[in-house]
Amino acid sequence: MTTSSTQRTRTGRITFFVALAVFAQESMWNLYDSQVPPLLREHIGSAALIGLLMGMDNVLGIFLQPWMGNRSDRTRTAWGRRIPYLVVGMPVAALLFLAIPHAAASVPLLILTMFGYALVANSFKPIAESLLPDFVPPERRSRANAVVKIASSLTVMVAALISIFLVDTHPKLSFAIPPVLMAVSLVVLVANVRDSRSPAYRAALAEDGEAAPAGRVRDTVLDIVRDSDRSRLLLIVAILLFGGAWAASRALMTPYGMEVLGLSRGAAGGLTLPSGFAFIVAAYPVARLAERFGRLRVMTAGMSVFAAGLVLGAVAGTPAGVVTGLCVAAAGASSFLVNAVVVLWNLAPSGRVLGTYTGLYTVGWVSGGFLGPAVAGGMVDLTGWSLLLVHVAILALLAVAAVARVGVLQRRATAGRAL
């Protein structure tokens, strides 16, 4: 077997194992998002308070994920720097998730269990995802991350199937399925992945002997902010802006469908479902295009398609037209969702900080998820629901401008760099 074939096989194996771990994690998160609110509603009448409690995990993620990514970057053990955290965190998160329906009889106990789950699950989320750049060379990271994103997208369907077939008849059993998936994925991951053998870990060990120890999150952030080349900072801004546009296009579609299209609540809630399939279909081809023509170029084109799809839906003004526009938009958005974190990884100055950069990507994305629906909603308050999709398209175009600027800076400074 040639060196190239061996590398492809190794890349394929690690991609599968990381995708399996992410699939298990996101299965829990999606069922959490869909089925914990009804448990809270049994005791709490305020929708705002329920929303606040459900947003607790995002707030924790903003602070925890960069810190834990950085902690794993700085860890050196015989097992490597990522696996030890997964061996501890994944079983604990599974047990806490399993306990949620049993804690539902008491509001304080339920909230405490939710907090414990969100704390632990957020702690190891960036660590599992950071295994990908540890093992996969920069030029092949887009297609590998596309597989992981597809696995993550499929978990929405898994959570929906569990809700449809089990929640009403066996509510506690429904919360046991994702933890079982988590346990299986952990066994497979630990049995097959030796983090200490990853190219990035070996490079980090070599750098440890030549340079000062890897800095903390604050040092990494200051390095990004103070760098005269604004590429990394602009990219994080783009992640925030596009994360906001993506979140607004999902979170506000149900009221849009009811107010503008005259649909029932259930029908309006299904407007985004076909676009989920469009995303899955587009993700891998977009990754291959990015590796051939350049990630920044493909991201810029795809984000522009996202904005155009939204405008198409707004102009059509019918349920079929909106669904078609959302499908076009989701296919275009896949270029960003697959490639943005890869570009950020490839802009990292060293393999010693890949976990920290994964956490910073999450900070940008989650912050956008907080702010995007609020900003788009504020614009709707001024202009009416009929222009929602246009407002979201404007947010996306601001992200396009930021990514385009990164492309200009990179062409000036690093001709030929693998972005």
Q: Are residues 256 and 336 in the same domain?
A: yes
In a domain, 156, yes or no: yes
Helix, strand or coil for residue 157? helix
Residues 300 and 392 in one domain: yes
Residue at a domain's end among 186, 207, 228: 207
Q: Is residue 138 part of a domain?
A: yes
Residue 139 tokens read as 């030029």
pLDDT for res 238? 96
Reduced to 3 states, what is the DSSP secondary structure of residue 348?
A: coil
Structural domain contains residue 130: yes
Cα–Cα dist 124/145, whole Å: 18
Sequence-distant (6+) residues with CB within 8 A of 411 are none
Which CATH number is 151's domain given? 1.20.1250.20
Q: What does R_g of the chain's alpha carbons equal in angstroms? A: 21
Which is it for the CA torsion 236, 370, 339, 394, positive or negative? Answer: negative
Rounded to an integer, what distance in angstroms lies between the CA atom of residue 76 and that of residue 268?
A: 50
- Quote the domain boundaries for residue 231: 217-413
pLDDT of res. 418: 47
In a shared domain, residues 202 and 223: no
Phi, psi of 193 (to 5 degrees): -115, 125
- Give residue 405's pLDDT: 94
The whole-angstrom separation of Cα 173 and Cα 256 is 35
* Residue 222 falls inside a structural domain: yes
Residues 232 and 198 in one domain: no
Kindly state whether residues 273 and 178 are assigned to the same domain: no
403 within a domain of the structure (yes/no): yes
Domain boundary among 142, 172, 207: 207
Among candidate residues 207, 233, 268, the one where a domain is terminated: 207
**Statement to judge: residues 200 and 95 lie in one domain:** yes
What is the C-alpha separation between 158 and 178, in angstroms, rounded? Answer: 9
Residue 278 lies in a domain: yes
Distance CA 233, CA 223 (A): 10
- What pLDDT does 273 receive? 81
Asked whether residue 230 falls in the same domain as residue 377, the answer is yes
What is the model's pLDDT at position 300? 96
Determine, yes or no, domain membership for 400. yes
For 26-165, strand residue ranges (E) read none
Same-domain check for residues 323 and 203: no
Residues 250, 197 share a domain: no
How many domains does the chain contain in total? 2
What are the 10-residue block averages of pLDDT along the chain, 419 residues in total?
60 88 89 83 79 81 90 89 93 95 92 94 89 90 91 81 78 89 92 87 81 74 90 95 91 85 80 87 93 93 97 93 95 95 92 90 89 88 91 96 92 62
Whether 295 and 392 map to the same domain: the answer is yes
Residue 398 lies in a domain: yes
**For the chain, how long is the longest CA-to-CA vector?**
65
pLDDT at 210: 65
Q: Are residues 196 and 235 in the same domain?
A: no
Instruction: Examine the domain organization and report whether 69 and 125 are in the same domain.
Output: yes
